Amino acid sequence: MSPPRAAGSPIGWARRFVALWRPSLVAYAVLLGAFLIVPAGVVVLRGFDGGAGERSPMLEAVSGQYLGSFWYSIRLSALTAALGSIIGTGVAAVLVDLPEGSRSRQAMVGYSVVAANMGGIPLAFAFLSAFGVQGLVTKLLGTAGFDLIGNGFRITNFGGIALVYMYFQIPLMTLVMIPAFVGLRRQWRDAVSSLGGTRADYVRRVVLPVVTPSYVGGLLLLFANAFAAYATAFALSAGASRLVPVQIRFFLQGDTITGKTNLGYAMAAWMIIVMVAIIVVVRMLAARTEKWQ
Amino acid sequence: MSRRAFRWLVLGAVIVFYAVPMLSMARFAFQRVPVVLLTWDTLFSRWTIEPLVEAVTSREFRRSAFATVRIALLTASVTLFVLMPVLVRARLAGRRLRRVVELSAIIPFVVPAIALVVGVSGIYREWTPWLLRSEYSLVPLYFVTALPFAYRTLDNGLAAIDLRTLLEAAQSLGQRHSGAVVRVILPNMWASVSTTFFLVCTVVLGEFTIASLLLKNTLPLYLAYAQGQDPQGAFGIGLLLTVVSAVFLAVSARVSGRLVGTGVVR
């Protein structure tokens, strides 16, 4: 197809250009439909679809031992999100106080990018070799007279997994908060002091209102981050974890308990519902944050 | 305590927390001294990279490494070929299409990998089992997984250039449409294109959940398997994989000048 040159308003030309690229739009829609939207839809539909005489799988998935799984996942996500967001924000505050070009600031931000993306098997390996029964830190603490294992710490149980998750939660929060802190303008501080305000006034009246939406958004992001995680916990505990995703795996591998046909789908559907709720709030908060940046 | 001291205390504690697990992994991978026998005297003895060398020359490793590289390259190419035209189109076509594309690109966030696999195997195991048998069935799934990051990077790149003017200029100089994108648009947003490429590769290099549940033999799966067979070699490769992803991410962050995150590997 060769475009008639003379028919030349840029808009008309652009329209023809666009028509040529229709195949990619179709490909995009097909990929997204077949490998995301339809599977997610099927998960939700089957989650609601119990067999004859069964309780709705969606209800079954949040009762008994399965409810226990959800609580375990939620507690782990909430704890690591809360601690990670506080520490990560602290690190971000310290980093933005350093001069922008400083080596330590650049190195820390760079490593935060790396660590925030870490996870899965390699991270599990790293923590096993540090805090495992035969770990380096375990040994070091032992030499110093503190028996980590004897005090009930296992890298595979709740506290251990939480510790491992902190490795990506803290830097992720740092990355979320740095732009928020950088967005605080020097002039605002000067304006407060020229109006007779103190440093405390500046923090309370300017910093907190501007930074809070970012903080809450980051907190939720961290929660979602931990909630959806699977590989790290799986690698640490060889599949013995009580986390929801690890439980779902049982159903996927065909260990279906009779009479609970669609329970795996229902648990997955609940995960999607939680994630949707979080992302909707995050998007709303992000819209508010953008005002200041 | 002064503010300054407090500042360095916070930084120091976090640096120790970041460094210790990685150093422990390196020690485990490269020192042939069991932890039990480790004392200050033996700390520097018997360091070797032999376990890593042995592991990377093993047949199983090579097979899964090649498979992973194939999938990574294919996924990155599919992402660029499909997404670039869609985003160009969305930018030219006005607000509605743009909003639809933007919204569609964040859907992957709300579907955790495990839920995606449950749905995918629920459908395709019944109707088209051949589709999941091939290792390339990971490509569309990884395209979807990496979509939010690819979208954000490419769309930022497009936002930074004057798309309409560039296309007009190319056209008035006699370029055809596809030629205009390849010769004019792409070179002008080279940073975001290469960032996207590396980000997608990082995702494929680390993704475990989907590959493991569909029984595809990628590198993270090899690691999980080798942990039992040859822990020292496996930990060495784990460290190597971490370093490679770190380099990819550093390159991405540097060329795009942005803080990047995927967070899909866990």
Task: Name the residue facing A252 among B85, B118, B262 (closest C-beta).
Answer: B118
Kindly report the pTM of this predicted structure.
0.88
> Cα–Cα distance between B266 and B248 in angstroms, integer?
17
Q: Give the mean model confidence (pLDDT) for residues B119-129.
A: 87
Asked if residue A175 and residue A133 are part of one domain, the reply reads yes
CB contact under 8 A, A168 and B11: no
Asked if residue A79 and residue A220 are part of one domain, the reply reads yes
Contacts B209 to A, Cβ<8 Å: 230-231, 245
Asked if residue A119 and residue A41 are part of one domain, the reply reads no
pLDDT of residue A4: 47
Give chain A's domain count. 2
Report the SS3 class of residue B31.
strand
Q: Is the pLDDT assigned to residue B263 strictly greater than 60?
A: no
- On whether residue A70 sits in a domain, the answer given is yes
pLDDT of residue A90: 94
Q: For residues B212 and B261, which has the higher predicted lDDT (pLDDT)? A: B212
Cβ count near A179 (within 10 Å):
16
pLDDT of residue B137: 93
Contact at 8 Å (CB) between B135 and B73? no
Closest CA to B55 of B212, B242, B225, B244: B225
- On whether residue A128 sits in a domain, the answer given is yes
Asked if residue A153 and residue A32 are part of one domain, the reply reads no
CATH of the domain at A92: 1.10.3720.10
Write the DSSP symbol of residue B47: B
**Domain range spanning residue A20?**
8-48
* φ, ψ at B239 (rounded to 5°): -65, -45
- On whether residue A140 sits in a domain, the answer given is yes
pLDDT of residue A14: 63
pLDDT of residue A257: 54
Asked if residue A151 and residue A40 are part of one domain, the reply reads no
- On whether residue A269 sits in a domain, the answer given is yes
Task: Name the residue facing A116 among B25, B143, B263 (closest C-beta).
Answer: B263
pLDDT of residue A147: 87
Structure tokens of A45? 């539909």
CB contact under 8 A, A172 and B263: yes
Q: Is the pLDDT assigned to residue A65 strictly greater than 60?
A: yes
- On whether residue A135 sits in a domain, the answer given is yes
User: Which of A45-54, B57-66, B208-217, B242-251 is predicted least confidently?
Assistant: A45-54
A168 touches chain B (CB under 8 A): yes
- Residue in chain B nearest A233 by alpha carbon: B266
Contacts B263 to A, Cβ<8 Å: 116-117, 119, 168, 172, 225
Asked if residue A149 and residue A34 are part of one domain, the reply reads no
Of chain A, the percentage scoring pLDDT greater than 90 comes to 37
CB contact under 8 A, A231 and B246: no
Task: Name the residue facing A129 among B25, B241, B261 (closest C-beta).
Answer: B25
Q: What's chain B's Rg over C-alpha atoms?
A: 23
Q: Is the pLDDT assigned to residue B242 strictly greater than 50?
A: yes
Task: Name the residue facing B143 among A31, A43, A130 (closest C-beta).
Answer: A31
Asked if residue A145 and residue A80 are part of one domain, the reply reads yes
- Give chain B's mean pLDDT: 86
CB pairs under 8 A between A and B: 279
Tokens 């990929």 locate to A31
Q: For residues B220 and A23, which has the higher predicted lDDT (pLDDT)? A: B220
Contacts A228 to B, Cβ<8 Å: 112-114
CB contact under 8 A, A121 and B238: yes
Task: Name the residue facing B18 among A95, A111, A265 (closest C-beta).
Answer: A111
CB contact under 8 A, B242 and A122: yes
pLDDT category at A146 given cuts 50, 70, 90 is confident
What confidence tens digit (pLDDT) does each residue in A131-143 have?
998 889 998 898 8
Q: Report CA torsion sign: A13, B81, B131, A267.
A: negative
A91 touches chain B (CB under 8 A): yes
Q: Is the pLDDT assigned to residue B264 strictly greater than 60?
A: no
Q: How many helices (H) and strands (E) does chain A have?
A: 15, 0
pLDDT of residue A125: 93
Asked if residue A121 and residue A21 are part of one domain, the reply reads no
pLDDT of residue B71: 97
Q: For residues B211 and B41, which has the higher predicted lDDT (pLDDT)? A: B211
- On whether residue A22 sits in a domain, the answer given is yes
Write the DSSP symbol of residue B35: G
pLDDT of residue B183: 78
Q: Is the pLDDT assigned to residue B26 strictly greater than 80?
A: yes
pLDDT of residue A291: 65
Show the 3-state SS of A113-128.
Answer: HHHHCCCHHHHHHHHH
Closest CA to A219 of A209, A231, A207, A211: A211
Closest CA to A222 of A177, A182, A284: A177
CB contact under 8 A, A178 and B265: no
Q: Give the mean model confidence (pLDDT) for residues A43-72.
A: 85
Closest CA to B20 of A146, A118, A128: A128
User: Which of B54-58, B113-117, B172-176 is predicted least confidently?
Assistant: B172-176
Structure tokens of A293? 């940046």
What confidence tens digit (pLDDT) does each residue in A243-254 have?
898 888 888 876
CB contact under 8 A, B21 and A129: yes
Asked if residue A188 and residue A96 are part of one domain, the reply reads yes
- On whether residue A2 sits in a domain, the answer given is no
What confidence tens digit (pLDDT) does each residue in B91-100 have?
887 788 889 9
Of chain B, the percentage scoring pLDDT greater than 70 comes to 94
Report the SS3 class of residue A261.
coil
Q: Is the pLDDT assigned to residue B181 strictly greater than 80?
A: no
Q: Give the mean model confidence (pLDDT) for residues B239-262.
A: 77
Asked if residue A154 and residue A125 are part of one domain, the reply reads yes
Torsion, Cα of A68, A72, A73, A77 (10° steps) = 150
- On whether residue A3 sits in a domain, the answer given is no
Closest CA to A84 of A176, A181, A166, A158: A166
How close A253 gets to chain B, by Cα (Å)?
A: 8
Contact at 8 Å (CB) between A98 and B214? no
Q: Is the pLDDT assigned to residue A108 strictly greater than 60?
A: yes
What confidence tens digit (pLDDT) does each residue in A2-57 have?
444 444 566 666 666 555 557 888 899 999 999 999 999 999 999 988 776 667 88
Asked if residue A89 and residue A16 are part of one domain, the reply reads no
Q: Is the pLDDT assigned to residue A61 strictly greater than 50?
A: yes
Structure tokens of A146? 């503190």
Asked if residue A184 and residue A69 are part of one domain, the reply reads yes
Q: Give the mean model confidence (pLDDT) for residues B2-31.
A: 91
Cβ count near A5 (within 10 Å):
10
pLDDT of residue A260: 65
pLDDT of residue B182: 75
CB contact under 8 A, B88 and A37: no
What region does B176 belong to: left with phi over 0, alpha with psi -120 to 50, or beta?
Answer: beta
> Cα–Cα distance between B218 and B48 in angstroms, integer?
26
Mutate to test the interface with B, among A45, A118, A232 (most CBs of B within 10 A): A118
Q: Give the mean model confidence (pLDDT) for residues A83-107.
A: 90
Report the SS3 class of residue B36.
helix
